[in-house]
Structure 1
Amino acid sequence: MNVDRRGHLNKYLPFSLVDGPGNRFVLFLQGCNFDCVVCHNPYTIDECNGCNICVDLCPDSALTLGTSTKPDVNHFACTDCDICIEVCPIDSTPLSSYVTVGDMLDKIRPTAPFLSGITVSGGEATLQPEFIRDLFAAIKNDPDLNHLTTLVDSNGSAAPAVWDMLAPVMDGAMIDLKALDADTHLRMTAQANGSVLASIRYLAGLDLLHEVRLLIAPGLNDSIETASKTADWLRTIDESLTLKIIGFRKNGTRPVASHIVEPDAEMLTGIANTYRAAGFSDVLII
């Protein structure tokens, strides 16, 4: 455990009710190895390359040319208008920062009595496994924090060795399954899904699969046939899995997703009922 271990942080939320059970402190790490068409936080994908396009366009003059490879940020002047994110040509942000495990413990500690747990998301959290391991280990070894559950929200791309590294200090993982069909997954994420399917099965075997998240994007993966085939595959792992049906939302997405409509309640209910009919009882719609 190294409290000086650094991680690349996009932002954190001191309270969240949608990133795992209960009231959670959530870290969104910077960097992702998928390029999802439906991504609702694309500014977490890449690392700022210091092009400085955003500096002159910031209406609050919160950005200045820095001495490093990215602009310096005056957080007191920043009004979170998101213009720097909107104009970024590489799906990044000048607002990300490097933090240590100790830094995050200091952020968590004041509200710990009111929290249920910690979730590390992204971007793709498992691209920084050592940071997660040391953060979770520090939480588990701190008498004021060890009541907090520790979860990872992941696209499932991590190798078994990464999950083995995290397993001793992680209470569970929430895995996004965009598509069971390989071609559909490639079209949605620009990556193959073999590692995702392997992670779901591997984590279930470790009893660390908290839930499988199924994002529904009309025109891409919304058919009842798709749901039925996915249910058949998941049933080979465990019918007691928690499944979360998540409707695509346009908020925060890139122009590449402009043609995708938001699913209505009837569509999501029909898909959820397909999983229930296949034997899954713990199916939630959000």
Structure 2
Amino acid sequence: MSAPRALLNDFIPFSNVDGPGNRFVLFFQGCNFDCSFCHNPYTISTCIDCEICIEPCPEDALFRETDGSVTVDWDRCTRCDICVDVCPYDSTPLAKQVTVDEIFSEIRTAAPFLSGITVSGGEATLQPEFVAALFSELKAHPDTRHLTTFVDSNGSCTSETWDVLLPVMDSAMIDIKALDDNIHIALTGVSNSRVLDSIRYLARRDRLHEVRLPLISGVNDSDELLTRTARWLASVDPALRIKVIGFRKHGVRAQYQDLTEPTADQMEHCEQVLSAAGAHEIVRL
């Protein structure tokens, strides 16, 4: 089995919040959004080998290779994440280059206890060839072919990228940070035009498990915006599942800690507004 390599931040062998059932979740390194509310901002960029993290490491586990790259001595590393904390570039030296063989072996071990696999990030669709190769191997092997294959994405990729994944992808979960493009740009640095295109494209092919609405109090949770969002989603698919996710400050960069977490009452109100505007299935994370 041959396949491209991928830059992986980490994986979780068992998760019940990243799609249906018990799932193995891969977090890819690198994202094309710069979300102010991101709770794992160290997955946004790839390491530029600046060496800033080497000296602060208390275990002397980081060093520069002769080719100039910053490398980890995994026998010394304790995953204290001080290197992540001191990185000014929203990255980490701990991301690993992995092969399909390596990841398949991890998944196969856990497969009897799993419902499926979800690729997340960062942004998994930035490494589509690896994702397609991994999903293909999972579908082909008798020990893993029962696993559903999901992509958790910001939806920013093109239809050509989705076409690489669709033959082996069972479904996708797409975020709408804001239906209003100006708010979306303010939150992410990127227009939502491709996100909306992806939602339409996947819904037409019955490959859209849910749309996720991360809600920040006073930013993207107005009744007017939620009403427009529900109506637009209903126009795409009246039965579309919507998951509302309340913003939490944990892990968010210091300069964005003034963003406000919605209360339970506010989240309930948002659900009521979405329902009144035509959303039929709403779940809360």
Question: 1:1-286 alignment to 2 at 5 Å?
Answer: 3-286=2-285
**TM-score (normalised: structure 1):** 0.97
The one-letter code of the counterpart of 2:56 is L
**TM-score (normalised: structure 2):** 0.97
Q: CA deviation at 1:219?
A: 2.4
Q: Name the SS of the counterpart of 2:53 in structure 1.
A: helix
What CA deviation, in whole Å up to 9, does each residue of 1:137-179 have, x standing for no partner?
0000001100000000000001011111111100001001000
Q: Name the SS of the counterpart of 2:20 in structure 1.
A: coil
Q: Distance in 2 between matches of 1:160 and 1:110?
A: 33
Q: Name the SS of the counterpart of 1:94 in structure 2.
A: coil
Q: Distance in 2 between matches of 1:119 and 1:108?
A: 11
Q: Distance in 2 between matches of 1:241 and 1:268?
A: 19
Q: Distance in 2 between matches of 1:230 and 1:4?
A: 39
Q: How many residues align?
A: 285
Q: Distance in 2 between matches of 1:211 and 1:71?
A: 39
The one-letter code of the counterpart of 2:177 is K
Q: Specify every segment of 5 or more residues in structure 2 that has no aligned partner in the other structure, as ranges.
A: none
Q: Distance in 1 between matches of 2:161 and 2:30?
A: 16
Q: Distance in 2 between matches of 1:3 and 1:116?
A: 25
Q: Distance in 2 between matches of 1:256 and 1:124?
A: 22
Q: CA deviation at 1:238?
A: 1.0
Which region of structure 1 is more displaced relative to structure 2, 270-279 or 155-164? 270-279
Q: Distance in 1 between matches of 2:63 and 2:23?
A: 34
Q: CA deviation at 1:69?
A: 4.1
Q: Name the SS of the counterpart of 2:101 in structure 1.
A: helix
- Determine if contact 1:43/1:93 at 8 Å carries over to the other structure: yes
What do you get for the CA RMSD once the two structures are aligned? 1.1
- Determine if contact 1:157/1:199 at 8 Å carries over to the other structure: yes
The one-letter code of the counterpart of 1:214 is L
Q: CA deviation at 1:281?
A: 2.4
Change (3 A) 1:70 1:43: farther
Q: Name the SS of the counterpart of 2:14 in structure 1.
A: strand
Q: Name the SS of the counterpart of 2:46 in structure 1.
A: coil
% identical equivalent positions: 54
Q: Distance in 1 between matches of 2:103 and 2:239?
A: 34
Q: Specify every segment of 5 or more residues in structure 1 that has no aligned partner in the other structure, as ranges.
A: none
- Determine if contact 2:49/2:68 at 8 Å carries over to the other structure: yes
Q: Distance in 1 between matches of 2:52 and 2:258?
A: 28
What CA deviation, in whole Å up to 9, does each residue of 1:36-85 have, x standing for no partner?
11111111111111111111001222212223443221223222221111
Q: Distance in 1 between matches of 2:151 and 2:2?
A: 19
Q: Distance in 2 between matches of 1:75 and 1:248?
A: 34
Q: Name the SS of the counterpart of 1:79 in structure 2.
A: coil
- Determine if contact 2:231/2:278 at 8 Å carries over to the other structure: no
- Determine if contact 2:3/2:133 at 8 Å carries over to the other structure: no
Change (3 A) 1:71 1:282: same
